[in-house]
Structure 1
């Protein structure tokens, strides 16, 4: 961990020492200074009202801050819970009492103020120690007195001051609990620095606001700032509109050139439709800035319409990324908004707005139409047909504007439904599909937005839930994005990558698959925007960087895809030990690696259970038989109701070649050295001759057939004499002729019986005697199915309830880069086909 990345968790380790020395804040500040923490890019974290609604929620937020924030970061807060709604209600009661002059309203007002004060006092008492509770209750009492005074006077003058109390109390409370439990903190009222022109435009005076914010931030203290409120140039309190705290957060991020803004809310991201009414909505893990801005404009329930404006500056080289995450489930990956490549630009979503007006006028044609557009920024407009769609709140202003031009206008209630995505208005296929999905809705018009990022249908009636779900299904049914990570850049790995471009073009199931990661044992190339499959190997050589396991798991934990598939083409036991963490992240694995599938019974069962509980798929057809479909056959029989009783065969391509070729015309040692020279054996041929590889393969198949056993339950004949087993490879090869007598004798005895020798794996289950399993050299008659194979072939024999008298036999090449890479691609297609039918359940904690 670098000095710049020391988080508050690290600071807290030092705080226990600092407390003993009696100068906590000063020494923490010194510690931060010494570690140059200010060099770290500032991050802004905004917490919404629901995230701060209760004592339990606040404590959860404190833990998020502890784990994710540093002292130079900024926290922006909304009012606790429904406090702003309560203040609005209190203001409305005063208006009613002024109008009605009723004592009943006055009593109701007194009770409402009392309830608000008691609720806030209860929250303070619940989360703070006695000393801090006393201080904040005193401040709350003064605020309630001020509120009561304002309500008794000119309430219009103090309208925004009244509404500001919610955020002021929230910032004060969070800052106090941070001071008490986490780190030095100060709360800042945004009205002390944030200057806007007016509440209609909310245009920020950036120069003045930035200077005043810099003056109010205190070095070595985590700033907690009120959202939603600001001031104008005359010093009057202003608000940024309902849900304006998100806008506050991005304004502040722009003022301090923050690297990231995280909006912690009650949903875990932005979805392809409102998940409250579209159960099959997909989380959009990454959204380009322009698309997110358009979604906010067209009614997305998470994005405030103006939130992105401060972060999108074409003239600036600085780019701030925006994240949306859930404070109720902070470990779940949220949505990131920023600048991305083509994968993110392929996302589609559907949104809608009801209660709109279709305004028709000749003034909306030509030059005056352009002026009307600039003045009112309509939802959509057609300056040839002379209409625009506006909100109901704009009707009066638009009517007055047109009256000044002495022209008439007609208004008609309408709704809109829109497909949003990168430049979708320019894509004929998207527009055609959108029109087909609306055939029963009979839209009045379909227009493209000015920015070309949406196609909008104007509806004569309110958009129904049924229509929204229908359109969403048609527009997003093929939208799943799957990331592919290839681990192992050796011979088979490179062949797998060579086959990938053609596979992506011809196999429909792979349509939404993207190569995003390449790893060797020491280097990695990760690109969330995709790696060109046609240049994968050369890009890896050129751009791969060294990595460690912690970095890899961190990236896997935050990948931006609907699903991620890791293809393990390594012989590494160390990498197989990461499977449990990978499965726990909901990531799928295709393994040619035998270690995990042949590990101890306890570890293997734990892997299977972890994968099942996290809906992770684990395929390993190439662990046994290269590309031969032996795993598929066993799966199919079991899933169809069959019961397997025996598994047997020749499972090693190397041993198959040796014993099919060994006929006595040359010594066994000469044959073995010849196989080594051709690359048929492992670099140390004892790996093949030991039988351990065949033993692991038999274990894998027996487990696949539904039996629980361990490697030690399988008897294994080692063909290497004990005297040669502990030698170095070079020493063994120098004495390899010591194998000759044994194999010559075995061959002679077999030939005398008209038979042959083969290294055979056998598993048998009997209800009476139980399980027996072994791998060994056997003498077989020449008529045996295992006796006459093409050298290097594997053969698998299955006896079952259905295949009792005439066993099922699968035979073919058991090694080779083409067949093994092909087997991996078979598994890849299989997983993608399964994922095509996968439904992700949307979890909502309580969207406002």
Structure 2
């Protein structure tokens, strides 16, 4: 019956003096709540242009969703900390009469919206994550405050006199400081008033001038079920810390309905997304990848990511997203993600590669759960690891240069990864996809001590000596190894033994010992002429010219019933590499194809060593090792 419907203005009001005015933001909702209270209505419906209160600001968190139901108290907390769907005073009149509030979308009538009531059956710990994007902190501090009453009262009265709303308050138990958060637009008048009120104490040195920190944001976890729930604060701080987000100040009321932190504004989007993924477990976790290096291994890695995406989404709720990629000539970025199956077609048409610009793009995007993957052999690319780790972006790489530089630099990268809660992983530096370094790490972490390491660490050299029979020229076998993708881009690095020297150095360092590369004794099997080649083509010519040398090495081993293996060892504080004749009774004798093998002799394995064996070269196995490191980082970011 339309005659029973009353229609009245919403935000039009009258002052005590009888003048017309408006109620300001949320005025119509507040008026409706007052009428609902007066008439003791059965329900209060608020129709808006959104479908209800959201788990986070949808402008910053694309995965945010509508909260179907929450308590009056949780709604008050969310609205206080920035949720603009409902105005805080609107809730109080409905709460007094226990009137349910339903928020609906005028343009999406079928959406269920959000229902706000006193209580219901709910097991979720966190209802939402709210934020205020532009605040500043005011710090009043000084030794003269300790034990002196009335400082707090004067401080807050000064702000109240200028109609400045305080959003967050913290005070040290020593009474040495008081810190409050206010809206940034109130900063100047707040500082002016506080300096006036405390001028005598500031001039006498009893307290310091008001300290102001700007360009900050508030993030608040809200949920009535947080009360007495162990680990919520720790989880929040851990998630922020792993993403390189420093917390300026923390507050939690005795009701335990919210935990509030202040962070730098530039990190707000990253913080909200990281927390949303962490606390709403049904959400898909996004792991952001930045890749330099699109050679054979890089392409194999892209193929593996593409093939595994459906599995990761289905089984682990995880989405690996390639945000940026580059080769030596061009680079391409897309914050929404590059298609690993097609973006290589667009890469040649993209912007010119510049390493500094690539780093700046990673820094400016400031995405959570980020991993930088270097799939090159470039010393120049390895130089940026330090800056990458400082941005709390983990580094995964098969590039051995960083891990074999001066021990001081190697140690620095390790310490930076700890300091900035990132990871520096290089499993594929030794043994391609074999779990060599992870096995060694487990031994060391569990308290075992490495006594001796014997290893065949070059899949390339093993392939060459398994296929060379003195009938096919040695140089042709080397060319075949490169064609099959088993060598470094320049095979001279493999045949010189430098690659193996770097690998045994890494094994020694990861065992807990301090060595430099020049302490590795490398015994080359190449004739002197081949060691001074000008380029790869010249190297092949000299290998062909010295075929007699290689044939002699083979024949000598054959005459003794042995096989040639390029062996690396660590024993008695000595690191050595060189070509050896291996008899049938040794584990190295039966190595096939491009296999690697590592024997770990430890206090727990003194006679029968712990053995890691398998394919140690090739694009696919190296890519799988990179993938494994990426997953290690992603799983520790959970």
TM-score (norm 1): 0.47
Give the length in aligned residue pairs. 450
* Cα deviation 1:249-285 (Å, max 9, x = unaligned): xxxxxxxxxxxxxxxxxxxxxxxxxxxxxxxxxxxxx
2:325 to 518, 523, 535: 518
1:829 aligns with 2:631: yes
Distance 1:659 1:477, change over 3 A: same
1:624 corresponds to: 430
1:488 correspondence with 2:303: no
User: Which of these two proteins has the greater Rg computed from alpha carbons?
Assistant: 1
Match of 1:602 in 2: 408
Q: Displacement, 1:711?
A: 0.7
Q: Distance in 2 between matches of 1:199 and 1:494?
A: 63
- In the alignment, structure 1 residue 779 sits paired with structure 2 residue 581: yes
Partner of 1:817: 619
Residue by residue over 1:142-198, the C-alpha shift from the partner in whole angstroms, topping out at 9 and shown as x without a partner, is xxxxxxxxxxxxx999x9xxxxxxxxxxxxxxxxxxxxxxxxxxxxxxxxxxxxx96
Over 3 Å counting, the alpha-carbon distance change for 1:676 and 1:199 in structure 2 is: same
1:305-320 equivalence runs, <5 A: none
Q: CA deviation at 1:673?
A: 4.3
Give the SS at the match of 2:533. Answer: coil
User: Cα 1:804–1:740, aligned 2, differ >3 Å: closer, same or farther?
Assistant: same
Aligned residue among 578, 589, 608 for 2:395:
589
Structure 2 CA distance, aligned partners of 1:298 and 1:712? 63
**Which of residues 329, 337, 342 is equivalent to 1:535?**
342
Q: Deviations over 1:470-515 (max 9, x none)?
A: x988635746543111221111111111121332221344614322
C-alpha spacing 1:617/1:682, structure 2 compared with 1 (3 Å): closer
Match of 1:391 among 68, 81, 89: 89
How does 1:81-100 map onto structure 2 within 5 Å?
none
User: Which structure shows the bigger proportion of residues in strand conformation?
Assistant: 2
CA distance, structure 2, for counterparts of residue 417 and residue 540 of structure 1: 50
Larger RCO: Structure 1 or Structure 2 (Cα < 8 Å, ≥ 6 residues apart)? 2
- CA 1:648–1:354 in structure 2 vs 1: closer, same or farther (change >3 Å)? same
Cα 1:553/1:486, change in 2 over 3 Å = closer
Higher helix share: 1
Query: Alpha carbons of 1:748 and 1:533: their partners in 2 closer, same or farther (altered >3 Å)?
Result: closer
Query: Deviation at 1:619?
Result: 1.3
Q: CA deviation at 1:526?
A: 1.3
SS of equivalent to 2:404: coil
Correspondences of 1:309-458 after superposition (within 5 Å): 344-347=61-64, 354=73, 391=89, 412-413=97-98, 439-440=121-122
The 1:631/1:678 distance shift into structure 2, 3 A limit, reads closer
The answer for unaligned runs of 5 or more in structure 2 is 1-15, 27-48, 77-83, 125-221, 226-252, 260-274
Gaps of 5+ in 1: 1-154, 160-196, 204-292, 304-336, 358-377, 381-388, 396-408, 443-455, 837-848
Q: Does 1:794 align with 2:511?
A: no
- 1:22-421 equivalence runs, <5 A: 200-201=23-24, 344-347=61-64, 354=73, 391=89, 412-413=97-98
Check 1:587–1:393 CA distance in 2 against 1; reply closer, same or farther (3 A cut): closer
Q: Any conservation in 2 of the 1:299–1:352 contact (CA below 8 Å)?
A: no
The answer to whether 1:714 aligns with 2:517 is no
Q: Aligned partners of 2:383, 2:223: CA distance in 1, in Å?
A: 53
User: Once the two structures are superposed, what CA deviation does each residue of 1:366-412 show, in whole Å capped at 9, x if it has no partner?
Assistant: xxxxxxxxxxxx967xxxxxxxx9835996xxxxxxxxxxxxx9961
Match of 2:609 in 1: 807
Cα contact 1:349–1:419 (8 A) shared by 2: no
Instruction: Give the aligned partner of residue 754 of structure 1.
Output: 561
Q: CA deviation at 1:663?
A: 3.1
- Please name the residue that 1:574 is paired with: 380
In structure 2, relative to structure 1, the CA distance for the partners of 1:424 and 1:727 (3 Å cut) is farther
Cα distance in structure 1, aligned partners of 2:440 and 2:102: 49
Deviations for 1:760-781, whole angstroms, at most 9, x for unmatched residues?
Answer: 11112x4xxxx11111011221
Q: Is the 8 A contact 1:652 1:694 kept in 2?
A: yes
- Partner in structure 1 of residue 500 of structure 2: 694
Equivalent residue for 2:212?
none
Secondary structure in structure 2 of the residue aligned to 1:628: coil
Kept in 1: contact 2:371–2:393 (CA 8 A): yes
Q: Distance in 1 between matches of 2:257 and 2:319?
A: 26
Does the 8 Å CA contact 1:626/1:815 hold for their aligned counterparts? Answer: yes
Deviations 1:560-609 (A, max 9, x none): 43221112111111111100000011101111111111111111111111
Aligned position for 2:368: 562
Alignment match, 2:547: 740
Query: Which residue of the partner structure matches residue 650 of structure 1?
Result: 456
Determine the C-alpha separation between the residues in 1 that align with 2:510 and 2:422.
17
Contact kept in structure 1, 2:288 and 2:322, CA below 8 Å? yes
Q: Does 1:731 align with 2:538?
A: yes
Question: What secondary structure sits across from 1:608 in the alignment?
Answer: helix
SS of corresponding position for 1:486: strand
Specify whether residues 354 and 504 from structure 1 end up closer, same or farther in structure 2 by C-alpha distance, changes over 3 A only.
Answer: same
Listed one character per residue, the Cα deviations across residues 24-63 of structure 1 (whole Å, up to 9, x for unaligned) are xxxxxxxxxxxxxxxxxxxxxxxxxxxxxxxxxxxxxxxx
What's the C-alpha RMSD, in Å, of the aligned pairs? 4.7
- C-alpha separation in 2, matches of 1:410 and 1:567: 54
* Residue 552 of structure 1: how far off its partner (Å): 2.1
Do the aligned residues in 2 keep the contact of 1:647 with 1:762 (CA within 8 Å)?
Answer: yes
Q: Which residue of 2 aligns with 1:108?
A: none
Quick one: structure 1 residues 560 and 666, their matched pair in 2 at CA, closer, same or farther if it must change by over 3 Å? closer
**1:614 matched to which residue of 2?**
420
